[in-house]
Chain A
Amino acid sequence: MRIRTAGVVALFALALAASGCGGDSDEPTANQSPKAAGGKLVIWADDKRTAALKPFAEKFGKENGVTVEVQAVSKDLQTNFVTASQQGSGPDVVVGAHDWIGNMVQNGAIDPVQLSAEQKSAFNETAIKAVTFNGQLYGVPYAQENLALIRNTELAPEAPKTIEDLVAQGKQLKAAKKTTETLCLQVGQNGDAYHIYPLYSSAGGYLFGTAANGDYDPKDLGVGKPASVEAFKKIGALGEKGEGVLKRSISDTNSIATFTGKKCAYLVSGPWAVADVKKANIAYDISAIPGFAGGKEAQPFVGVQAFYVAAKGKNKALAQEFVANYTTTPELAVALYNAEPRPPALTAALDQVKGSDPDLAKFQEAGRNGQVLPAIPAMAAIWDPFGKAEAAVIGGADPSSTITAAGKTISGQIK
């Protein structure tokens, strides 16, 4: 009886399976057919850019008889792209900041893009420099951004010439109870290397020296050198135990809000802050971040957003076509600007939108002497220790020992 039951059950089950197969078995073929028919281009970007890109990617697809899919990776886009590429499940094109290039190249995740001299000359020089790595052009830039000083013109009608000016002005406003903070420059508990860099550079510090070919040289680390200690002494003097201008309690989450709440007259931020400032109906103006009196110019980092061709994409020819010959057109750049107001990297596109948006020119002017954010892989080792050292010094720690320790940690992590 035991065998019989088992047998009957098995037989029934198989019969059921067989009857199910009829419908099931043609499914895989159905799934494969679209693959064979035409090309498909998959683009990965972050959420914001995905929304902006979608209509144009679709237009490109329609014009050329291919399918284009824009997909958003919400977190860790770069690492996920590199990992997925390695395993062969990555996209054909990826959109991201230019400082990813170093890491993507060392992992063989992106291919160089060949632009003609004519195409190249249509771009802003800084933008082209940013996406050039080891002498090769690795991406097509479409927008650039840098920090600037945004001020509330009702409270501070004049743009400060120096940090000292700004502090004096800010303190006056504070004393008059018009504001509660002198300057909104985000620091946060663990520091923020990107936002403090203009002051650091003005006070004489640097991150990496430049090699003979103009690239950053990871062997020449500026953090921990005497100049960096001096720079941090100046920053520390503005900190919580000093002037109280720089504070760890001002962080990425509240810096813009404090400015829009009219609690401070000056904000150090980028183009992304403008939308909020406008929404809060604040009369504002944008100028370059001032440097220390008698110091160097304050150099903000210039970052560039770019399109890259994945080295292990399934449809590289099409990806090359899209990146090299479609994203280089001003129409796309203008459209991307309209979706997200950052200065376009294409000169023609910038000229087109400059008229209607005076802020763009101001941001660009503020970034004129900016420094291209280093794209070398070693840069990844800087952010965390540098930021923490900044936070510690602002909190009152001894600049000399703090920066020396940070320099040691960073050099220990650079291969």
Chain B
Amino acid sequence: MTTLTGAARTGDAAGRPPVANRNVTGRRRNRWFAQVGWRHLVAVLGVLFSLFPIVFVLSAALNPLGTLSTTELVPTGGVSLGNFSGLFERTAFERWFLNSLLIAGVASFASVFLSALAAYAFSRMRFRGRRVGLLSLLLIQMFPQFLAIVAIYLIFGTITDLWPSIGFNTPWGLLLLYMGGALGVNTWLMKGFFDTLPRELDESATMDGASHAQVFFRIMLPLVAPILAVTGLLAFIGTINEFLMANVFLTSSDSKTLAVGMYGLLQGNERNNNFGIFAAGTLLTAIPTVLVFQLLQRYIVSGLTAGAVKG
């Protein structure tokens, strides 16, 4: 018995492996499965669950007839990229794409920053109205948005008259509006994470003479880097898919975002005709998100926090 693999091979070749050897390999396989293998199994199942409706969309995007209803996962009428080229020919897709990137990028960055500031205060400081403030942050988000549209017209009607460069049909106005939602669920999320950081860390820094701002920027922020990355990603996805407000805000076709532009493809009787193009657009919309995710992954990877704590 030289090596396990060798043994396994001989066993296989013999058709019926020697009993002892089989046990060893089997045990090893079992151990592998117990530690890693089952993880892959669960992950693959999860991926299947995730991808299965997406395959449906993919098949619609590749279907030259491009209609929504297909009973099969594989397109019946052959495969073509016509829907993708149609998307660029018939719509201002590139434009929407850039607008979305700009708005979602800036908005997610700014809102993560604003929320981190607030979460730091909510987690580390004690002041009157703290818990009420936290709860109000949550409850304000509970008001149905479709009712707020009237008020949004009121506010931005005035703003457009006074300062057209931050009014309707400008990305800056929409950004301002999104900043209104910066303190919200994300603040709660980050506050939860600040709470898990040992308080001794900032206390000892304070003892060493660091100001509260230094504690925040130099110690807390690096420590919560994974969660900043996660929140940033969530904010990015949230903004890029935001539709209700953007639809009210952006009417000139050059200023539209992906969500608004794409929804326009699906309207009324056109729903059926455009579905192929729409599906193609949906798939392309996922690209920036995946790229941002890739970019942020290195902050989400293991080890980084551990190092920071040690340092």
Contacts and interface: CB of A to CB of B under 8 A. Distances in A.
Interface stretch (A126-134, A170-178, A268-276): A268-276
Interface in B32-49: none
Contacts of A72: 251, 253, 256, 264
A83 B275 CA distance: 30
A47 B156 contact: no
Contacts of B154: 87
Interface stretch (A253-261, A328-336, A347-355, A381-389): A253-261
Most A CB contacts (10 A, CB to CB) among B160, B165, B263, B272 go to B272
Nearest to B268: A46
Interface stretch (B61-69, B185-193, B196-204, B233-241): B61-69
Contacts of A255: 272
B264 A74 contact: yes
Contact of A83 (B69, B149, B265, B272): B149
Contacts of B68: 253-254, 257
Interface in B135-178: 149-150, 153-154, 156-157, 160-161, 163-165, 168-169
Contact of B267 (A48, A83, A86): A48
A31 interface: yes
Contacts of A31: 164-165
A84 interface: yes
A415 interface: no
A71 B271 contact: no
Interface of B is mostly: helix
Contact of A47 (B150, B248, B265): B265
A252 B256 CA distance: 27
A108 interface: no
Contacts of A276: 65, 67, 272-273
Given A46-B264, A87-B154, A272-B269, A256 B160 contact: no
A275 B272 CA distance: 11
A14 interface: no
Contacts of B273: 256, 272, 275-276
A74 B247 contact: yes
A253 B268 CA distance: 10
A87 B157 contact: yes
A73 interface: yes
Nearest to B63: A257
Interface residues of A, number: 39
Nearest to A261: B76
B50 interface: no
Contact of A73 (B160, B243, B247, B268): B247
A302 B36 CA distance: 65
B69 A258 contact: yes
B272 A74 contact: no
Nearest to B64: A279
Nearest to A48: B270
B70 interface: yes
A279 B65 contact: yes
B302 interface: no
Interface string B221-233: 0000000000000
Interface string B244-277: 0001100111001000110111011111110100
A138 to B, nearest CB: 21
Contacts of B65: 257, 260, 276, 279-280
B145 to A, nearest CB: 13
Nearest to A256: B272
Contacts of A257: 65, 67-70, 272
Among A47, A51, A256, residue most surrounded by chain B Cβ atoms (within 10 Å): A47
A150 B163 CA distance: 53
B247 A75 contact: yes
Nearest to A253: B68
A266 interface: no
Contacts of B253: 50, 71-72
B80 to A, nearest CB: 12
Interface in B54-82: 65, 67-70, 76
A255 B272 CA distance: 9
A75 B246 CA distance: 11
Interface in A357-391: none
B218 to A, nearest CB: 20
A76 B169 CA distance: 17
A80 B263 CA distance: 15
A294 interface: no
B134 to A, nearest CB: 30
A276 B64 CA distance: 11
Contacts of B169: 71
A253 B272 contact: yes
A280 B78 CA distance: 12
A254 B60 CA distance: 12
A197 interface: no
A121 interface: no
B247 A76 contact: yes
A89 interface: yes
A27 interface: yes
A307 to B, nearest CB: 17
Interface in A30-52: 31, 44, 46-48, 50-51
Interface in A79-137: 80, 83-84, 86-89
B261 A253 contact: no
Contacts of A412: none
7 contacts: A31-B165, A46-B267, A46-B268, A88-B157, A253-B272, A272-B269, A276-B273
Interface of B: 65, 67-70, 76, 90, 149-150, 153-154, 156-157, 160-161, 163-165, 168-169, 243, 247-248, 251-253, 256, 260-261, 263-265, 267-273, 275
Given A80-B149, A252-B271, 5 more contacts: A74-B261, A76-B247, A87-B154, A88-B161, A252-B272
Interface of A: 27-28, 31, 44, 46-48, 50-51, 69, 71-76, 80, 83-84, 86-89, 252-258, 260-261, 270, 272-273, 275-276, 279-280
